Structure 1
C-alpha cells in the first residue's frame, strides 16, 4: 500500500500509515524502507520466519537500504549475506533493466 501511495505522489498518506501501525515489527520496517527511512528500519527487519527472509531477498529488494553500511553488516549477522549476494547476482544477470 505504501509503495502505491508513494508512486502516486501521496507521501503524506504513506507516512500516515506509520500512525495506523505503531507496533515495532518486521512489517513496520518494510514501511519505513518504502518511505526511505532505512536507518530506522534496520533494527526491525530481522526475519523471524523464512517467508520474511524471502521478502527481503525477492519481494522488497528494491526498497532495502543497500546504501547503508549497516545493511550489509546486519545481513551478515543474520546469516543472509551469501543469499543476498546470490540474489543480487541473479538480478543483475537475469532481470530486465528498468527504463529510465
Structure 2
C-alpha cells in the first residue's frame, strides 16, 4: 500500500472510531443497565411499562419470564422485558423544601 491509499482510508477509520464511542458504546451500556434492572425487580415494586402503564408487581413467574401487574384496570400479565422503570424509589424519597 502506498501513502495515498492509507491517507484516503484514514477518514473512514476515524469515522468508525467516532461512531463506536459516541453511538454504539453508550447504547451497549444502556442495554446492560436495563437488563440488570429487569433482573433485580422485586415483588411489590411500583413500575412503569414501556407502553406507559403504571402498576405494582404482584407476581413474578421465573419459568416463563413474565410478571403480573396490578393496575387500576385490574391484573395484567407482561413480559419482564416490558418493564421500563421503577417508581417505588422515586416516591419513597423524602420531600425536601
What's the TM-score, normalizing by structure 2?
0.22
Please identify which structure carries the higher strand content: 2
Please identify which structure carries the higher helix content: 1
Instruction: Indicate the structure (1 or 2) with the bigger Cα radius of gyration.
Output: 2
What's the TM-score, normalizing by structure 1?
0.22
